[in-house]
Amino acid sequence: MRNKEKIASWLNRLESSVDRRNFIGGLWHGAFLALGVAITQPTTVISAFMADLTGSTVWVGGLSTVLTIASALPQLFVARWIEHLSRKMPYLLAAIYIRVISWGLLSWLIFSIGDEHPITIAWALVVMLAVFYAGGGLGSIPYTDIIGKIIPSNRRGAFFGGREALAGPFAAGAALAARQILVNVAYPNNYALLFGLAAVSLTIASLGFWIIREPSALGGKQHILSWKNYWQQIQETGRRLKILIVVELLTGFSLIALPFYVIYAREQGGSPADAVGWFLLSQILGGVLSNLFWARLVDQFGSRHMLFFCAVISTMTPLIAIGLVPLGWPALTIVFFLAGATYNGRNVGFQSALLELAPAAERPTYAGLNAVLILPLAFLSFAAGIFLQYSSYTVFFLIVAAFIGAGAVVLHRWAI
């Protein structure tokens, strides 16, 4: 009897040790991933770079569309392919290193070509970023399943919020460094250096998954499903995700506005080139300072209530932008602060909500279908770029606020 008790105690300690190891590994990856993302923010750094290269909001909106499509389209195919596998870690690591290579190649191309052929650089940016985001799409499927297996449901709010909070000092430091690089290094080598540093950061981030011990999936599919059977599964999954998708699409108008805040500040607020660094820092700080708040809301009140509060703030953000622009570009740093807070809030809330809805054996399909069903947001980004060629930012931001507000109403009813 004593031996059995000792063995049980030893197994409990071992399990606790593995849980801590996995938790730390996930936080490590999130922290260094955030560092890489911070110095290459698509809504500030990349949008500003594309505007410098082309001088067109259509290119800015079109790039956002391409990136979203590249991230989403492969996901259902990957989900069907790997859902029956007991371990998904090799596929996640492969996706991470695809992203590292794309950032490294982009950095090298910018250094090599320089500023003599801006349209060539613009197309290289589109292609390499498409590869980068396709790698992210490939990786999100195994990532969702792995996190679902290693993080207990009652600790997911703490994990997602803690991951972002830990990333805060890294991201804030990266934002300050990015500002110095943008100001003190000659164009376009300043952007090349940022992309190169992002590649290094992602490589370091991948070490977090090397230390994670992914458990085998139990009770899942034993083989890959035929497309006929998998289509039936997709239809059932779509019915279960219906309300979540509606909410994501409506509140996703906040994401459509994000790439245009920096252009708005430049054209309407008269911001100088080095203001991008301040906007980036403000956005990072907004995300950092809000993380523990979002995590606490998820763990205490659930993801739906948390997303409702996030949607209310998102509704106010474009309206605040309209009100603050007469005060000059420094006042618009508040907009970027709120945008960073709500962007991180969406990450915490929607990841938690998706894991709550998805059965353990079908997490890849839920994640893949979720990404595909919100694809209309990608085309709206391109449409927004065209819309702004013929209309005003005030009208655009009012439309954005109306749709996000409708999403907040749906969330409120869903949360009751």
R_g of the chain, CA atoms, integer Å: 21
Q: Are the C-beta atoms of 60 and 51 separated by less than 8 Å?
A: yes
Across the range 328-352, mean pLDDT stands at: 89
Tell me which residue of 221, 260, 200, 262 sits closest to 85, measured CA to CA: 221
Q: From CA 65, how far away is CA 246, in angstroms rounded?
A: 19
Band of pLDDT at residue 324, cut at 50, 70 and 90:
very high
Across the range 310-318, mean pLDDT stands at: 95
Q: Which range is most confident: 219-233, 244-258, 280-294, 357-371? A: 244-258
| Most distant pair of Cα atoms in the chain: their distance | 80
Instruction: Residue 330: count other Cβ atoms within 10 Å of its Cβ.
Output: 14
In the chain, the percentage of residues whose pLDDT exceeds 90 is: 17
- Which pLDDT does position 217 carry in this prediction? 63
Tell me the average pLDDT of the chain.
Answer: 81
Instruction: Give the least confident one: 1-10, 62-71, 212-221, 295-304.
Output: 1-10
Angle at 35 between CA 175 and CA 190, to 5 degrees: 55
Q: Is the pLDDT of residue 170 over 50?
A: yes
Across the range 281-304, mean pLDDT stands at: 82
Q: What is the pLDDT of residues 18-66, one digit of tens each?
A: 677 888 888 888 888 878 877 877 767 777 777 777 777 677 767 767 7
Q: Are the C-beta atoms of 174 and 309 separated by less than 8 Å?
A: no
Tell me which residue of 334, 33, 43 sits closest to 174, measured CA to CA: 33
- Which pLDDT does position 407 carry in this prediction? 94
Q: What is the pLDDT of residues 129-167, one digit of tens each?
A: 778 877 777 777 788 778 877 777 667 666 776 776 677
Residue 379 makes CB contacts below 8 A (sequence gap 6+) with 65
SS3 call for 271: coil
Tell me which residue of 342, 332, 322 sits closest to 254, measured CA to CA: 342
Q: What is the pLDDT of residues 20-33, one digit of tens each?
A: 788 888 888 888 88
Tell me which residue of 197, 204, 205, 203 sits closest to 177, measured CA to CA: 197
Q: Is the pLDDT of residue 353 over 80?
A: yes
Is the bond preceding residue 326 a cis peptide, omega within 30 degrees? Answer: no
- Which pLDDT does position 164 carry in this prediction? 67
Q: Is the pLDDT of residue 13 over 60?
A: no
More confident of the two residues 404 and 79: 404
Band of pLDDT at residue 1, cut at 50, 70 and 90:
very low
Q: From CA 100, how far away is CA 111, in angstroms rounded?
A: 17
- Which pLDDT does position 354 carry in this prediction? 86
Q: From CA 346, how far away is CA 336, in angstroms rounded?
A: 15
- DSSP-derived letter for residue 43 is I
- pTM for the whole thing? 0.67
Q: What is the pLDDT of residues 200-246, one digit of tens each?
A: 999 999 998 898 887 776 545 556 777 778 788 888 888 888 999 99
Please tell me the class of the 21-206+230-415 domain: mainly alpha
- Which pLDDT does position 223 carry in this prediction? 64
Q: Are the C-beta atoms of 161 and 298 separated by less than 8 Å?
A: yes
Tell me which residue of 16, 21, 25 sits closest to 209, measured CA to CA: 25
Q: How far is CA 278 from the centre of its chain?
A: 21
